Amino acid sequence: MFLEQFPGEGRQNGWIEVICGSMFSGKTEELIRRIRRAEFANQPLIMFKPDIDNRYSEDKVVSHKGSAFNAVIVKSSQEITEKWNNQKVVAIDEAQFFDEHLVDVCNDLADKGARVIIAGLDMDYLGAPFGPMPRLLAIAEYVTKVHAICVSCGNLAQFSHRTASEGGQVLVGAVEKYRPLCRTCYQSSTN
């Protein structure tokens, strides 16, 4: 459980938080919850999302449950640096869709005193580390792994099983293309 007790909070110290897990585990919901708390505290903030993710909205980060927050749409991690205007809190959703340079961008923002909150899939549909997420997990001061519930057996799920026939690592979708599964059910479904 993420305790949200930050030593030196209020000073110029920056840090990186990563929220990871499978699809339908509540990553975006948790990201929005943290951002709303910062907004309530009148902390200057900005939310980014990759242009590839337009499932629910063109200009908002939206959770599967329907929670939404205005976002700046970017094509690359470099645009985050260009559009950041010294906000104290920087949120990034769907980090797995960004290029590897996102790690440098997040480090740079944290070094400049920003609280950087990142949400993304830690594994792709094959169970392999996804995009820049492994490196972000390695450099983060705080990591929260959230789990979905396996739709087959009810155990904790950490895999995003693709039900659609399309290939390729990136396939943006929701319940029409993916199901959360536990390790045992995932292994059974891929054999």
- Asked if 71 and 60 touch (Cβ cutoff 8 Å), the reply is yes
How wide is the angle at C-alpha 87 spanned by C-alphas 81 and 93, nearest 5°?
65
Between the CA atoms of 122, 126, 132 and 136, what dihedral angle is there, to the nearest 10 degrees? Answer: 30
- Asked if 92 and 117 touch (Cβ cutoff 8 Å), the reply is yes
Among candidate residues 58, 82, 94, 176, the one labeled active-site is 94
- Asked if 55 and 169 touch (Cβ cutoff 8 Å), the reply is no
94 is catalytic: yes
- Asked if 133 and 108 touch (Cβ cutoff 8 Å), the reply is no
Two structure tokens written together for 133: 């997420």
Q: List the catalytic residues.
A: 94
